[in-house]
Amino acid sequence: MSVTRKRIVVTGMGVLSSIGKDVAEFKQSLLDRRCGISASPEYRKYFDGAYASEIDYAVDYPGLDPDVIKNVDKGALWAYRVGREALLDSDLFESPLKEKIGLMMGISAGGTEAFLPALLGEPEKLNWKMVQNSGSYSSVSHLAASLLDLGGGFELVSTACTASPNAIGLAFDAIQNNKSEVMLAVGSEPLYIPTFAGFYALKAMADGPCSPFSGVAGMSIGEGAGALVLEEYEHAKKRGAPIYAEILSYATTGDAYHETAPDPKGEGASFVMNFALRNAGLEAKDIEYINAHGTGTEANDRAETLALGRVFAENRDVPISSTKSYFGHNIGSAGVLELIACMLTLSEDKILPTLNFSEARSYCDLNYVPNDFREQKVNVFMKNNYAFGGNNCCMIVSMQPDSKAASTYEPRRVAITGLGTVSSLGANTAAFFEKIAEGVSPSALEKLPKGAAGPGTPNLIDGGSAPDAVATGDTSEGAESQGIEGMEELLEALKNLPVDEEGNLNFRFHRVVKFNARKLLRNFDPRKMNEICTFALVAVEEAIADAGYKVPKGRREEVGMIMGMSRGPTSTIQKLTDSLQPNPNNVRTKEFAMSLMNSIATQCSIARGVKGYNTTLATGYNASLGALMQAYEVLRQDLQDYMVVGASDEKGAGYTPIMHLDQTLLNYDADPTAYQVYSAAGDGYFAGEGSCCMLLEKYDAAKERGAEIYGEIVGYGRASDRLFFNDADHDAQDHWGRAMGRAITLALNEAGIAPKDVDMICGSSWGTRYSNLAELQGVRHAFGEAAKDIPLTNFNNRFGFIEAASGQMNLAATLHCMRENTVFPILYTQDFAVDGLNYATEAIKKEIRHALVLGVSEGGNNYALLVRRPE
């Protein structure tokens, strides 16, 4: 039965830019044609002729304590600032609706600022409290959600220059599936030296303010943040909210071409525009204006012009301009700021010009709007953004809500037909299933030598440049003079580390079994690939083969890909940061591209020729569950035929020194049975590495082609505990689990089943007090008395806690339980954290029709995914 899509409107906006500290100032600067790109004193210290669009004024953060401002990075603070403005604009900042409002956020340089002094050769200026608060990539999302007091869950999109429009797309989809009537979409991107150095090394920079499509090619880099409140139209009208525009549709695709360069044929860019038009139920002739990506580089402007000419062959007079000529390329926040710029000026019947426009380049033959506003009333316009890794995003927007017919779709059932796993249990799913059933847990003792630098922790524990107290473990009083902010806390953490007599730190780790990637992968060159990509490539290859599916050469766009990430390619990030010293001009371009969070999805897409829906969610622990939910949503709305979805983590994600200095996480007991999930002690986890990937497809199509179906996804929920600073010791433990209870209820409601119909629960808690209580108390909140009858298990201590991938690993194990009609047990734990639940301490034989998989992130995101046994 056909379903009419909900109308999604914009009811609030927030801005922070080089040309405006708020929406009003930003709009006036646009109308005044003010260019915010100028010579950069900061970056000319390192790079000749550096230009940038920078926020060079003091930013105020109303409502935040000075200590918070001092100890949180700008990525989170700017998200709070623009999110607050947007929520105030929409009259929601103090609304009880905030408990249900979710946050979808985009960024490219997450977690950088905390380590910036070390990157610049000044480790004595490190702020240890900021390292604790903002030292992980995903921290910006959970900090922003907590600061804004939002309870509807969050995701962090990391697709470089398309991060914020992709975040808007996720918010759009969440409302479509009744997860909330209101969502907040944010892009936040401070400019830091690794980003500037990378683009400079690629020789992509302009010698002055950029001039897209004209003059001398080159881009201008910038920074800023933007926020939009998205809301269901009838809900917005009912409460009298301001309505600025309607988001008609969005689409995202991948080029499957190159790590940094766009496909010169513009094929992926053409696909994404056509898909967005299809999703809106429109044609190219309906578009009255295009706000282009328009970076100013030859590669982008040539490929984009070619793609636009192809899609708009019958409408070549449509006006086109690039807003980057005003405030540069803001990377992760580019799309949302440019979209806001369009809405603010089109509401005045003015089409934005491309500033600094001289003579169009020979290959730029479209209807560009140069230098001055074009007076024209526009209803429907298109907003395009493209990114490293060949990620493309397109949004179609109406300035007159309810003026176009709402699009429709046929809701699809979603099947899991392929599995691929790489872990300490084996390099294939058969071995994984066998060891799950046997109850094997093959961890091994690892050693972090005294003075060693851990992957992903640049220069912090490097005896050559870091303060002695950190580099050598010297906790004497003299060490306190090193100048690190929060040194007393750091010294206390160092004193508590269980080092041996030689000063080495020993811990148990689940290392991936040895395998020969060249035998498993075609055209594999280990010299060009890091471990996290290798694990993912092997898992993706197996998942596709296991499903009995081949990506068709002539229809590669019918397959999409979503990857979940936590710390990402830490070994490559280490190489990149090392290359910044002593001269940032020597940064290696290969590491720059491969250090990005979306590089894993990029490499997998290139290897398998996957050109459909493409995004990366770097939300941290159990990010694979968020990736699964979005892949399900794309298929449910009939936007894609097949989706490859997974997550991957390499060894660096398991034993960085920062993790060792947080005593609430890792368990240091040498006893291999010491990792006990859901234990009352909450002693932490043994870490692991590996990857899990799945192929999802439409259920009916899977049946028709005779595919073996592991299970059907029938519902999901997402909600967030509003933790601040990820403080596992704060006094709100009685509240832990309420968000998980809400997430479970959302999943049950979507599936249309009662709590009593759930036959087993599998959690993904990693074994700390917070993660244990969030899941277990959440089960009690959602199921009440019924909880005592539902077997509950968790498989993390079989393969180690693999940060991003564990949720999906647990789902894979759950699907095996369903096949075997057996709930395989929790290993080792005897004294559980919460009474009154039916813990599976031994194998339980029973028919399993519905299974619930749970997971929480380190920042308080709660996931609930409901799967059903195939018919």
- 364 catalytic? Reply is no
Contact 324, 219 (CB under 8 A): yes
Residue with tokens 């000075």: 66
Selecting among 142, 235, 329, 660, the annotated active-site residue is 329
- 329 catalytic? Reply is yes
Residues 6+ apart with CB under 8 A from 200: 47, 50, 585, 587
Q: Using the 8-state DSSP alphabet, how is residue 801 labeled?
A: B
Distance CA 871, CA 868 (A): 9
Bridge-partner residues for 763, per DSSP?
Answer: 794
Pick from 764, 768, 841: nearest CA to 809: 764
Pick from 257, 111, 258: nearest CA to 573: 111
Bridge-partner residues for 694, per DSSP?
Answer: 419, 645
The answer to whether the Cα torsion of 73, 74, 75, 76 is positive or negative is positive
Residues 6+ apart with CB under 8 A from 528: none
The answer to whether the Cα torsion of 197, 201, 206, 211 is positive or negative is negative
- Per this entry, what is the length of the chain? 871
SS3 (DSSP) at 101:
coil
Residues 6+ apart with CB under 8 A from 571: 455, 456, 530, 531, 532, 650, 651, 652
Q: Which two tokens stand for residue 138?
A: 């995903």
Selecting among 35, 161, 210, 817, the annotated active-site residue is 161
Q: Would you call 431 exposed, middle or buried from its count of C-beta atoms within 10 A (0-12, 13-18, 19+)? A: middle
- 293 catalytic? Reply is yes
Helices (H), 547-588: 570-579
Bridge-partner residues for 649, per DSSP?
Answer: 690
Contact 129, 490 (CB under 8 A): no
Pick from 425, 291, 312, 299: nearest CA to 368: 291
Residue with tokens 């790079």: 47
Rounded to 10 degrees, the C-alpha dihedral 520/526/530/531 comes to 40
| Segment (H or E) for 132 | helix 128-134
Selecting among 142, 210, 235, 293, the annotated active-site residue is 293
Contact 23, 340 (CB under 8 A): yes
For residue 823, is it left (φ>0), alpha (ψ between -120 and 50) or beta?
Answer: beta
Helices (H), 685-768: 699-704, 738-751
Q: Which two tokens stand for residue 689?
A: 């590495």
Instruction: Report, as residue numbers or ranges, the catalytic residues.
Output: 161, 293, 329
